[in-house]
Amino acid sequence: MADTKEIAIGDIQARGEEIKSDRMSLNVGPSHPTTHGVLRLKMELDGDTITYVDPVIGYLHRGDEKIAENMTYNQFVPYTDRLDYLAPLANNVAYAIAVEKLADLEVPERCQAIRVICCELARISSHLLGLGVFGMDTGAWTPFMYCFTEREKLYDLFEELTGARFTTSYTRIGGVTRDVPEGWLDRVEAFLDEFMRTVDELDKLLTRNRIFYDRTVDIGIITKEDAIAYGITGPNLRGSGVDWDLRRDKPYCGYEQYDFDIPLGSKGDCYDRFLVRLEEVRQSASIVKQAIKKFPPGLWYAEDAKKIYAPSKDKILTSMEELIQNFMLVTQGPQIPAGEVYFEAENPKGALGFYVVSNGGGVPYRLKIRAPSFCNLSILPKLLPGLMLTDVTSVLGSLDFVMGECDR
Amino acid sequence: MNLLQTLDYLTERDSVGHEAYNCPTDKLLEAMTYLKNELGFSMLVDVTAIDNGENADSRFTSIYHLLNIANGELVRIACDCEGNEEPEVPSVTHLWPAADWHERETYDMFGIKFVGHPDLRRILMWDEYEYYPLRKEFPLAGHEVEYPEPDIVERTDLKVKAAPMAGGPFVASTSGPMSKSEPVAKDQSWREYNDKPE
């Protein structure tokens, strides 16, 4: 086939005619399987080559920041579930830590360990989806099914811990809603052992897969300089070889006690971003195991924070003081001193930041959510032009974004 | 790092965990260029703004968070915008491309004009939208506006309606007598006896 084509083109050239490619404008999304949500791309093509891209976002804009200004700190926790809805537990934790920093509140070690386990399980769950869907985008169906089977088990664990599979709302300012259930940690450990085998299989299915290789290697290269200039964070930044991980460089939640490696890409192409995620899943599993091993005793909330964390139910029902305390917390919200704080946590998608401005009282004056997916997508107008149309799926799959977080 | 000595027009700003400075509008670009080129703040983490209230002296403050990836230093620069009705502040897109979308979002939500931005248009709301949602006078429920597609409106008479807020988020006020501090929705625009938001 290739030969006949070449001869045909040669004929045209021999006749002195110019080869012309069609220019067209193409709209992808907002509802399209490759855009993983409601991203819309307005593209201009020259033949199969992309010449111009204008991403249109905002289809999932719900005004979370406006909503936050109208409710108490704890009332906003369920809204954080709906930012990066593939890792709600990690969002809960990031939000709680931001407000606690403003209140200058230290949570006990046990609470920190629970939060670390939550964050890392959320990372595993989110990356599994990212890897599985990336495989599917490039034509491999099986890894997607493997990943979803594992995520289903994770959801069962989340349900046991928080009462909800998806919208967990697990943290409160000053702690978490409840302690880990009996035997839960053992079940997490059993899951991790089982799950490592699936990761190995996933590795074998994709990493040296010829089709996957051809569709990702040298495609969508983000240089180190570009990654930093565009504010890209998370696995996408590390895929470009920038050694930056908030868990190690600005430890929170006691991450400094755990021993883990930070995988880095060398080139910054789609394949590197895939490899980084694959290794991060393994590292997360190792962190969870370490956390379970030295799981500290004690309370899962800050006991002395009487104006911030609600007392336990049996005390509310039997003691006057706790009853009043609970009433004030429910009606007026946790009392946070005036000031402003910016805190960002290393979430599966990148650095999720909360900028909280408080005038005192139970309601934030302003709350800004710095969404990693928003920043990661902002490089598309630079990244896509010059690539082929088929590469769009690879690039979008490798960036692993969530529109719920991007649009807020 | 002591910025106050080298850049004497900065004033210290209240912050938890890292340094923060106020910067006058006309010196913003100078300070930002210095921070980026001399002090190595290579990553612009975030741009946003605060609405200080309708009666405030300077109503809008734009906020920048910068990160030095080499040593992990984070700094916040706050800059009061010029003009209260049509606030303006210089754009930093030529220093950090990341500012492009962040400034568009801030313009979209607050109506702050970033002078020098190459393509300042709405990003989250649609282009025809006429309000700035994160300004304090904007009601939580929103305003009823025209649906942005004229041909659909012609056939269906569709409108973008204000959100039904009945039940809204309940928050008690912390001041005043007990009888007034019963938890009520902060935004009362949905109440039957109030005028519906327009």
Tens digits of residue pLDDT in A285-298 = 999 999 999 888 88
DSSP codes, A227-246:
HHHTT--THHHHHTT----H
Chain A residues closer than 8 Å to B143 by CB: none
- Beta-carbon separation of A362 and B133 below 8 A: no
**Spatial CA neighbour of A72 closest among A331, A301, A304:** A331
Residue B192 carries which side chain, given as an amino acid letter? E
Q: What pLDDT sits at residue A287?
A: 92
Window 137-156 of B, Cβ < 8 Å to A: 138, 140, 142
- B31 in contact with A, Cβ within 8 Å: no
Q: What pLDDT sits at residue B189?
A: 60
In a domain? residue B127? no
Chain A residues closer than 8 Å to B124 by CB: 57-58, 61, 407-408
In a domain? residue B103? yes
- Beta-carbon separation of A230 and B18 below 8 A: no
- Beta-carbon separation of B171 and A363 below 8 A: yes
Out of A104, A339, A343, the one facing B14 most closely (by C-beta) is: A339
User: What mean pLDDT is predicted for residues A61-71?
Assistant: 87
- Beta-carbon separation of A228 and B134 below 8 A: no
- Beta-carbon separation of B100 and A378 below 8 A: yes
Q: What pLDDT sits at residue A4?
A: 47
Q: What pLDDT sits at residue B181?
A: 56
* Chain A, nearest residue to B51 by Cα: A366
DSSP codes, A352-368:
EEEEEEE-SSSS-SEEE
Out of B65, B182, B186, the one facing A342 most closely (by C-beta) is: B65
Q: Of B115, B132, B148, which marks where a domain is finished?
A: B115
Distance from CA of A147 to the nearest CA of B (A): 32
Do B104 and B153 belong to one domain? no
- Beta-carbon separation of B98 and A70 below 8 A: no
Q: What pLDDT sits at residue B195?
A: 57
- Beta-carbon separation of B125 and A342 below 8 A: no
pLDDT over 80 at A9, yes or no:
no
Out of A231, A357, A365, the one facing B45 most closely (by C-beta) is: A231
Q: Of B99, B115, B131, which marks where a domain is finished?
A: B115
Out of A65, A101, A362, the one facing B134 most closely (by C-beta) is: A65
- Residue A332 pLDDT class (50, 70, 90 cuts): confident
Out of B16, B102, B183, the one facing A331 most closely (by C-beta) is: B183
Question: Scanning the structure block, which residue is given the tokens 């501090």?
Answer: B181
Distance from CA of A119 to the nearest CA of B (A): 22
pLDDT over 60 at A13, yes or no:
no
Q: What pLDDT sits at residue B177?
A: 60
- Beta-carbon separation of B72 and A249 below 8 A: yes
- How many CA atoms are closer than 13 Å to the CA of B92, on its beta-carbon side? 35
- Beta-carbon separation of A231 and B96 below 8 A: yes
- Beta-carbon separation of B43 and A363 below 8 A: no
In a domain? residue B132? no
Chain A residues closer than 8 Å to B174 by CB: 332, 361-362
Distance from CA of B27 to the nearest CA of A (A): 22
Residue A204 neighbours by CB under 8 Å, 6+ apart: none
- Beta-carbon separation of B46 and A355 below 8 A: yes
In a domain? residue B176? yes
Q: What pLDDT sits at residue A298?
A: 85
Q: What pLDDT sits at residue A2?
A: 44
Do B38 and B80 belong to one domain? yes
User: How many CB atoms sit inside 10 A of residue B86's CB?
Assistant: 10
**Boundaries of domain holding B198:** 140-198
In a domain? residue B124? no
DSSP codes, B72-95:
TEEEEEEEEPB-SSS-EEE--TTT
In a domain? residue B88? yes
Residues A67/A76, Cβ–Cβ less than 8 Å? yes
- Beta-carbon separation of A340 and B16 below 8 A: yes
Q: What pLDDT sits at residue A140?
A: 85
Distance from CA of A229 to the nearest CA of B (A): 6
Note the pLDDT tens digit of each residue in A117-174. 999 999 999 999 999 888 888 888 888 888 889 899 999 999 999 988 888 889 988 8
Whole-number average pLDDT of chain A: 87
Percent of chain A with pLDDT over 90: 30
- B123 in contact with A, Cβ within 8 Å: yes
Among A15-24, A216-225, A267-276, which stretch is predicted with the lowest mean pLDDT?
Answer: A15-24
Residues A352/A94, Cβ–Cβ less than 8 Å? yes
Query: Number of structural domains, chain B?
Result: 2
Chain B residues closer than 8 Å to A104 by CB: 16
The residue of B15, B44, B48, B95 whose CB has the most chain A CBs within 10 angstroms, and thus the best one to mutate to test that interface, is B48
Domains of chain A: 64-371+385-407 (1.10.645.10)
Q: Of B98, B115, B132, which marks where a domain is finished?
A: B115
Report the DSSP pairing between strands B19-23 and B43-51.
Answer: unpaired
Do B16 and B99 belong to one domain? yes
Residue A67 neighbours by CB under 8 Å, 6+ apart: A76, A79, B140, B169
Do B84 and B146 belong to one domain? no
- Residue A280 pLDDT class (50, 70, 90 cuts): very high
Do B56 and B108 belong to one domain? yes
d(CA A222, CA A255): 28
- Residue B57 pLDDT class (50, 70, 90 cuts): confident
Residues B58/B52, Cβ–Cβ less than 8 Å? yes
In terms of pLDDT, which residue wins out, A361 or A86? A86
Out of A66, A228, A355, the one facing B48 most closely (by C-beta) is: A355
Do B144 and B108 belong to one domain? no
Instruction: Please give the helix or strand (H or E) that residue B63 lies within, else none.
Output: strand B60-68
pLDDT over 70 at A342, yes or no:
yes
In a domain? residue B120? no
- B77 in contact with A, Cβ within 8 Å: no
CB contacts < 8 A, A to B, total 125
d(CA A132, CA B193): 53
Among A189-198, A337-346, A364-373, B2-11, which stretch is predicted with the lowest mean pLDDT?
Answer: B2-11
Out of A102, A361, A382, the one facing B174 most closely (by C-beta) is: A361
Do B8 and B82 belong to one domain? yes
- Residue B186 pLDDT class (50, 70, 90 cuts): low
Q: What pLDDT sits at residue A14?
A: 60
d(CA A277, CA A283): 10
Do B104 and B164 belong to one domain? no
Do B111 and B24 belong to one domain? yes
Reading the block at residue A25, the tokens are 């404008």
- Report how far Cα B171 is from the mean position of its chain's Cα atoms: 23
Distance from CA of B5 to the nearest CA of A (A): 24
User: What mean pLDDT is predicted for residues B98-116?
Assistant: 91
What CATH code is carried by the domain that includes residue B21?
3.30.460.80
Instruction: Please give the helix or strand (H or E) that residue A216 lies within, else none.
Output: helix A210-216
Note the pLDDT tens digit of each residue in A87-124. 899 999 999 999 999 988 888 989 999 999 999 999 99
Do B37 and B91 belong to one domain? yes
d(CA B63, CA B103): 10
- Report how far Cα A81 is from the mean position of its chain's Cα atoms: 11
Note the pLDDT tens digit of each residue in A227-266. 999 989 999 999 998 999 998 888 888 888 898 999 998 9
In a domain? residue B130? no
Chain A residues closer than 8 Å to B16 by CB: 101-102, 104, 339-341
Q: CB-based burial of residue B179 (10 Å sphere; 0-12 exposed, 13-18 middle, 19+ buried)? A: exposed
Residue B150 carries which side chain, given as an amino acid letter? P
Instruction: Please give the helix or strand (H or E) that residue A133 lies within, else none.
Output: helix A109-137
Residue A43 neighbours by CB under 8 Å, 6+ apart: A25, A26, A27, A28, A50, A52, A53, A54, A384, A389, A392
User: What mean pLDDT is predicted for residues A310-323?
Assistant: 85
Do B17 and B99 belong to one domain? yes
pLDDT over 80 at B98, yes or no:
yes
